[in-house]
A and B are shown apart, each in its own frame.
Chain A
Amino acid sequence: MGPAKTAPRVVLACGEVRTSLLPALQALDSRAAAQLLGLRADERVLLSERPNLYGRSPDTLTGVDCPLPSANGARVRVVGTVAARAALTEGRLLQASAYFMVPATGPDHRRPWGHYLVRPGVVEPLGKLPHEAVAEGVLNGGRHGDLDVGLIADGLHTRLLRHPLLDHRPPLRSRPTRLRWVALPAEPGAGPSIERFTLAEDELRTVRLRVPEGTPGEGLAGLCDDLALHDWLLTTVVRILDGIRLGAGAGAAGAPPARQRPRQRPGAGEELPAVVRALRPAVDHLLHLWMPRARVTQELAPLWDALEERPGFTRQWQTLVQRIRDQLTLHAIPSPHRETDMGP
C-alpha cells in the first residue's frame, strides 16, 4: 500500500488472542457466522469452507497514545492504531485477536490523527524503538497505563459475546485462554522460527517469533490464532479428562468427590454414566476441530513443525482422542462386566 511503503522498516509485531468456546447450544452455520462477525455494515465477512468452516470479521481499529511496556524500564511513547478482528472456526470456537506493528523509528512529536488512520495496525514510536526490550516487556505484561493489546482483544470479545444470536447455553464448561505473541526480525537470510512457546499462568500462553523483514502482520496474527486455537483444544480436552473419575458408575457430572459421601439419589443410575456425560460434549463439539495450519500462510506454516517435534501437539491430541474413544467404547459395554474388569 502506498503510504506504508515510505515508512521505516517494521521491527516488532505484537498481538494477543482470546480463544473461547462459542456460548451457544448449536454451532453457528455460515450465515449466522456472517451475522455475528459483521462488525461493519460495508465490509463483508470472509467465509471459507475449505479445509474447514471458517469466518473472519473485517478488521476494526482502536486508537492508542501511550507508552509501550518494556523490560528495561524505558518509556517509549507510541501513537497509532491497533487492529482487531474476530474469527469463528466450525461455528464453535470464537477468537478475538488484536495486533500491531511498530517501525524502528518515528517522528519526535505526535502527528494529526489522519496520518495514523491511513496506517492501520501500525503504532509509531516517538523517537527510536528499543525493540528487544519492548518485546520482552510485552510478553511479561506491562504496567498500568502501558499499551495493552489484550484489552483490545478483550473488548472485541465482549462485544461479540453480547450478540443476540448467542443463547449462552454452552454445551460444556470451559475457560477462555489468552495467547500473547511478539515477532522480532530474524537474522538476515534466516527463515521464520518459534523461539519460545510458554504456558504461563492458567490461561496465559506466550509466543516469541523471529520472522524475516516484511512478513505481514496479518499473516503473523493468522499463525498465532492457529496456535491459540489448537492450544485451547489441548487445554480444554486435558481438563475434561482430568475432571472425570474413571471406572465410576453413575455419579455427579463427571465429578468425583474428594471425600466419599452419597450424593446422587437412587434412580439417577438410569441416566448416562457420568464419564459418558462428561466426554460426550467433547465428541460432539471439539474432536473434529483439530486442523493445524489450516489458515497459516505458506511462509509461516513450517513453524508448526517445531511444535510437532516437541512437545508434539498432534501426538498429544491423538492420545487424548484415543483415550476418549476408549472410554466411550468401554461404557458401551453393559456395566456389570465393566466394573469387574476395572477393579477398585
Chain B
Amino acid sequence: MTDAVFRETTAEPRTQAVPLSHLSLELGHLYMEDFEAGPEHLRRHFAQVRPWADAARAAAADRTGGKRPRISTCFLIDDYFTRFSSPAELVPLLLAEADRAGLAVDYLARESGCAVAGKVPVAEAVAGRLVEEPPPGSYGLRPPAAQTGWLANGERSPVARAPQAMREAAVWQPPKETASRRHSVFLDVELWSDAPDGQRTWSCPFLAAVWQLARLGLLRTEGEAVLEPQPHTADGFPEDWDELPPLLRLNPRADPFAAYRTCSVVPNRFLPVEHAVRVILDQTEVDPEALGQAARRSAGEKVAVPDSVADRVSYVFYAGP
C-alpha cells in the first residue's frame, strides 16, 4: 500500500470482474405447484410472458441508443423449498414449452444455488452485508429494535417490555415506514427461520434478493465471482437436481448472464415477494468494487445505470392464476 516496489498479495484487495449484458430478462420462476398444474399451465405462462418479453427487449434497445443491446434470458426452478420431478424430466419439457411460445431460455438456475453455490454460502454472505436503513434520530447507537432474522422498511411498533420497577408501560405506537410520504406502507420481511436443530431455512424473498444480485453481477466472495454459469456439455439432463450446476448456460452463444439491469416477467402473485426483495436490496451493501466495475463499464458504453441497486431491478406482473 505504501510503496509500489514491495507487494503482499494477502494485503491487497482484488475483485474479479464479470462480463455484463445490458439486460437480464427472467422468463419465469417455477414452483412445485406450477409443475403439478401440468404442461398446459407452463404453456399458458410462456404465452402470457411473450409480449412483455418483447416489450422489455424493445425498452432495452431504446436505452442503448439504437445499438444492439446484449440481452440474456433466464429461468429459475425451485429445488430449495420442495424437491419435485427431476432435471431429466422437467427441463426438456420446460424448454419445449418456451420454444412453442417463441422464447429461448439462455440460462437455467436452481434456487438452492442462491443459498449455497458449490461450497460458497451465498445467502449467508449477503445476510452479512445488510445495513439497516436508519430511522431519523439514528446517531450511531445500535438500534434497540433490531430483530435477528427480520428486516423492515421502517420502525417497528415498540414492544411492551418489562419496564423498570414502578415505571409505566408505554401505549401502542404504530410502525412507521422510514421513506414514507405522509402515510406508511410498513413491511417487515422474514429473512430466515431456524429449526430447533439449528438448520437455517432462508426465506423465499431473501433468496430472490440473492438471485437479483447474481443477475446484476454484484455477488463476490473473497473477491471471486460466485454463481458463474457452467456450459451445458452433456447430451441430456441428470436424474438428480444436485447433479445439475446451480447455473447452467443452455445457449452457448448467449449474451453474458449478468447485466446492468434486470427485468422479471412473473404472475402478479409474486408481488408481495418482490416488494420484500426491494426492501432487502435497498438495505444491502454490495461489494463496492463490483459496483465500481459495473459503473465504469457502463460509463464507457455510455449506458445510464441507476446508482441504487434496487432501482436496477424491474418487473412485469401479468394477471394470472
B-binding residues in A (CB < 8 A): 1-3, 39-44, 46-50, 54, 61-66, 79, 81-82, 110, 112-115, 117-118, 120, 145-152, 155, 293, 295-298, 301
Contacts and interface: CB of A to CB of B under 8 A. Distances in A.
A54 B11 CA distance: 9
A152 B141 CA distance: 7
A113 B282 contact: yes
Contacts of A149: 140
B188 to A, nearest CB: 16
Nearest to A60: B131
Interface string B290-309: 01101110110000000111
B291 A47 contact: no
Given A2-B291, A120-B285, A145 B137 contact: yes
Given A50-B8, A295-B2, A297-B2, A40 B125 contact: yes
B165 to A, nearest CB: 25
B6 A50 contact: yes
Closest 6 CB pairs of A and B: A2-B295, A114-B308, A42-B125, A63-B134, A48-B11, A151-B140
A151 B281 CA distance: 26
A264 B178 CA distance: 64
Given A64-B138, A151-B139, A298-B3, 10 more contacts: A2-B292, A42-B125, A46-B10, A46-B11, A49-B8, A50-B6, A63-B134, A65-B135, A118-B307, A155-B140
Contact of A298 (B2, B221, B311): B2
Interface string B125-143: 1101101111111111110
Interface of B: 1-3, 6, 8, 10-13, 120-121, 124-126, 128-129, 131-142, 178-179, 220-223, 281-288, 291-292, 294-296, 298-299, 307-311
Nearest to A121: B288
From B6, B135, B140, B295, name the one whose CB has the most chain A CB atoms within 10 angstroms.
Answer: B140
A12 to B, nearest CB: 17
A46 B2 contact: no
Contacts of B298: 2
Contacts of A148: 139-141
Contact of B131 (A42, A44, A81, A146): A81
Contacts of A42: 120, 125-126, 128-129, 220-222, 287
